[in-house]
Amino acid sequence: MQAVKCKYSPLRKVNKSFPRIFDFSGFLDTPSVFILPQFHSLPSSSSNDSHTPPPPMYVIRFHPFSSHLPVLPLIRSHPLTFSTRLQTRCSVFLRSIFSELFSSHKAASPSSRMSIVSIVAREILDSRGNPTVEVDLHTGKGVFRAAVPSGASTGIYEALELRDGDKTRYKGKGVTKAVSHINDTLGPALIQSGINVLEQEKLDNTMIEMDGTENKSLELIKTAIEKAGFTDKVVIGMDVAASEFFIEGKYDLDFKSPPNAARNISGEELASIYQGFINNYPVVSIEDPFDQDDWPAWSQFTASVGIQVVGDDLTVTNPRRIQRAVEDKACNCLLLKVNQIGSVTEAIKACKLAQENGWGVMVSHRSGETEDTFIADLVVGLCTGQIKTGAPCRSERLAKYNQLMRIEEELGDQARFAGHNFRNPSAL
């Protein structure tokens, strides 16, 4: 049996209730174990009286959980005298308890102690007084707690959050369904999987597979459009920037995770994903769906879909790249960036080349923008019908939209909105 060092505080006063602390250091892999016995009506140390006080309760605190063990057998067997013998017997007694109590824990491997033992979810309130979910996750190493915040845009996010919808309770924002789903379905599945809690990617993938909600971002946008009542006015355009995750001839859709060649997909597989987007969502334009040098994938995709396929990294507003894209039928729209080609004159020539070949043209800002409004004038002057200048927030983006409104005011009745004809506004 493993020897256990036992340290205790000196006796303070007799006939007083006091705690005696035993530090069982070095036991198992825990930093320390504290035993806190509480005595009542203690006799003097010189007394031969065999009077036994009420049995003490030793509060045993150790990692990873706490227990309360009465030591009644010890008190009944031995008169309560504060002697070295009693302290020794106490140490031996508790040591035997610990040996039995920890035998299974000590035998467990480090990896098994990092598996999930239990998951308990509950409903709590966030800082706005709205219900949200809190979860206690128990492992062999301890208990960990996390609570989920929520955004202020509840009208949009409510579709993806599992809210109860019961208007009589928190105006429908209760999360008892989500709590039940975690406690009854998700939690047991994660426990059964035996996944180490340090394997974040495995945990996330398991939950994503169980979720069953694919393409959450597109679902979110689609729901927002429907709730706003603009299904006939708002459509979706995507900027994929596929060159950013093109690796050795394939596409890594999870490029922010550690490299894993097994999960990379071909251009054909990526095109199939895009086709699913087009079939299920109001997607009418996709920019840079493939790598800038993956010409076959571009051509095959453009030939197979009836939507706008925009070349940015593919063409870089360069007439020679545009001409090759025209010949290969690689795309059908030019993303026009003046500073990509270097001058206004060259940008206008690139625009005309694209339009002469039946392409659409989208005038674009850059990510590092200024409050200059020139591209707003350019998009109207070239009659492209499309401008890409970001969300209507922050002054460098809003400046372009404000200039468009000024131009509309100046044109008066001559102003035309391309609308559904954005790919060919000159036909208006």
Question: Same structural domain for residues 102 and 203?
Answer: no
Look at residue 15 in the predicted model and tell me its pLDDT.
Answer: 38
If you average pLDDT over residues 166-188, what whole number do you get?
87
| Predicted confidence (pLDDT) at residue 99 exceeds the cutoff of 80 | no
Q: Write the DSSP assignment of 30-90 as a string of letters.
A: -S--EEEEB--SPPPTT-------SPPEEEEE-SS-EEEEE-HHHHHHS----SHHHHHHH
What is the C-alpha separation between 335 and 347, in angstroms, rounded? 11
Task: State both tokens at 406.
Answer: 């000024």
pLDDT of residue 159: 35
Beta bridge partners of 68: 59
pLDDT for 195-216, tens place per residue? 888 888 888 878 777 765 566 7
pLDDT exceeds 70 at position 269:
yes
- Please compute the mean of the pLDDT values over residues 126-152 and round it to a whole number: 85
- Looking at residue 404, its pLDDT comes to 96
Q: Is pLDDT larger for residue 361 or for residue 12?
A: 361
Exposure b/e, 80-110, CB count within 10 A at least 16 = b: bbeeeeeeeebbebbbeebeeebeebeeeee
Which two three-digit tokens encode residue 232?
């006939």
Per-residue pLDDT for 383 more than 70?
yes
* Overall number of domains in the chain: 3
Residues 223 and 350 in one domain: yes
Mean pLDDT, residues 375-399: 94
For the chain, the farthest-separated pair of C-alpha atoms sits apart, in whole angstroms, at 114
pLDDT value of residue 49: 47
Residues 220 and 187 placed together within one structural domain of the fold: no
Which residue segment(s) compose the domain that 68 sits in?
Answer: 22-107
Could you tell me whether strands 57-61 and 66-70 are parallel, antiparallel, or unpaired per DSSP bridges? antiparallel
As a whole number of angstroms, the distance between CA 97 and CA 33 comes to: 13
Say if residue 184's pLDDT is above 70.
yes
Residue 131 sits in a domain whose CATH number is: 3.30.390.10
Q: Looking at residue 66, what is its pLDDT? A: 37
pLDDT at 185: 86
Mean pLDDT score across all residues of the chain: 77
Task: Tell me the pairing of strands 34-37 and 57-61.
Answer: antiparallel
On whether residue 138 sits in a domain, the answer given is yes
Same domain, 285 and 161: no
Of the pLDDT bands very low, low, confident and very high (cuts 50, 70, 90), residue 186 is confident
Same domain? For 80 and 199 the reply is no
Highest-pLDDT range among 45-49, 67-71, 190-194: 190-194
Q: Are residues 61 and 47 in the same domain?
A: yes
Same domain, 201 and 228: no
* Residue that finishes a domain, picked among 162, 188, 211: 211
- Asked, for residue 11, whether it belongs to a domain, the answer is no
Rounded mean pLDDT of 30-40?
Answer: 39
Task: Give yes or no for residue 194 having a pLDDT over 50.
Answer: yes
Residue 336 inside a domain? The answer is: yes
pLDDT category of residue 60 using cuts at 50, 70 and 90 = very low
Whether residue 95 is predicted with pLDDT greater than 50 in this model: the reply is: yes
What is the pLDDT at residue 242?
Answer: 95
pLDDT tens profile 299-331: 999 999 999 999 999 999 999 999 999 999 999
297, 364: one domain: yes
Residue 124 shares a structural domain with residue 241:
no
pLDDT for position 128: 82
Q: Where is the domain boundary, 72, 107, 142?
A: 107
The 8-class DSSP code of residue 185 comes to I
**Alpha carbons 106 and 380: distance in angstroms, whole number:** 75
pLDDT at res. 332: 97
The answer, yes or no, to whether residue 51 has pLDDT greater than 80, is no
The amino acid at 313: D
